[in-house]
Structure 1
Amino acid sequence: MNSVRVVCHQLAPRIGDAEYNRTLSAEAIRSAAALGAQVVVLPELTQSGYVFTDTQEALRVSEPLDGPTLTLWKTLANSLNIIVVAGFCERLTATQVANSAALIEPHGRLTVYRKAHLWDRETLIFTPGTEPPPVVDTAVGRIAVMICYDLELPEWVRLAALAGADLLCAPVNWPDGPRPAGERPAEIVRVQANAAVNRLFIAACDRHGEERGVNWVGGSVIVDADGYPLAGAVSHQQEQRLVADLPLAHARDKFISAHNHVHQDRRPQLY
Structure 2
Amino acid sequence: MTPVRVVCHQLEPHLGDTDYNRRLSETAIRSAAALGAHVVVLPELMQSGYAFNDLAEARAVSEPLDGPTLCLWKALAIELGLIVVAGFCERLSAGRVANSAALIEPDGRLTVYRKAHLWDREKLIFTAGDAPPPVVDTAVGRIGMMICYDLELPEWVRLAALAQADLLCTPVNWPDGPRPVGERPAEIVRVQANAAVNRMFIAACDRHGEERGVNWVGGSVIVDADGYPLAGASAHPTEQQLVADLPLAQARNKSISEHNHVHRDRRPGLY
Aligned to 1:245: 245
Q: Deviations over 1:146-165 (max 9, x none)?
A: 00000000000000000000
Report matched runs for 1:195-234 at 5 Å: 195-234=195-234
CA distance in 1, matches of 2:196, 2:146: 17
Match of 1:119, as an amino acid? W
Other structure's SS at 1:251 match: helix
- The alpha-carbon deviation at position 93 of structure 1 amounts to 1.7
Q: Which runs of 4+ in 1 moved over 2 A?
A: none
Match of 1:217, as an amino acid? V
Match of 1:64, as an amino acid? P
CA distance in 1, matches of 2:92, 2:136: 22
Aligned to 1:185: 185
Aligned to 1:172: 172
CA distance in 2, matches of 1:136, 1:94: 29
CA distance in 2, matches of 1:46, 1:160: 23
Other structure's SS at 1:60 match: helix
Aligned to 2:8: 8
Aligned to 2:112: 112
- The alpha-carbon deviation at position 2 of structure 1 amounts to 1.1
Aligned to 2:31: 31
CA distance in 1, matches of 2:155, 2:78: 34
CA distance in 1, matches of 2:43, 2:171: 4
Aligned to 1:123: 123
Aligned to 1:259: 259
Aligned to 1:79: 79
Other structure's SS at 1:193 match: helix
CA distance in 2, matches of 1:93, 1:22: 24
- The alpha-carbon deviation at position 97 of structure 1 amounts to 0.1
CA distance in 1, matches of 2:65, 2:145: 17
Q: Deviations over 1:182-208 (max 9, x none)?
A: 000000000000000000000000000
Match of 1:102, as an amino acid? A
CA distance in 2, matches of 1:3, 1:58: 39
Other structure's SS at 2:215 match: coil
Match of 1:195, as an amino acid? A
TM-score scaled by structure 2?
Answer: 1.00
Other structure's SS at 1:36 match: coil
Match of 1:269, as an amino acid? G
Aligned to 2:57: 57
Match of 2:152, as an amino acid? E
Match of 1:183, as an amino acid? E
Other structure's SS at 1:230 match: strand
CA distance in 1, matches of 2:263, 2:9: 32
CA distance in 2, matches of 1:248, 1:103: 18
Aligned to 1:144: 144
CA distance in 2, matches of 1:123, 1:92: 15
CA distance in 1, matches of 2:28, 2:137: 24
Aligned to 1:21: 21
Other structure's SS at 1:178 match: coil
Other structure's SS at 1:191 match: helix
TM-score scaled by structure 1?
Answer: 1.00
CA distance in 2, matches of 1:119, 1:255: 34
Other structure's SS at 1:112 match: strand
Where structure 2 has 5 or more consecutive residues not aligned to the other structure, the ranges are none
Q: How many residues align?
A: 271
Q: Deviations over 1:59-116 (max 9, x none)?
A: 0000000000000000000000010000000000241000000000010100000000
CA distance in 1, matches of 2:23, 2:131: 30
- The alpha-carbon deviation at position 221 of structure 1 amounts to 0.1
- The alpha-carbon deviation at position 265 of structure 1 amounts to 0.3
CA distance in 2, matches of 1:160, 1:37: 23
Other structure's SS at 2:214 match: coil
Identity in percent = 82
Aligned to 2:103: 103
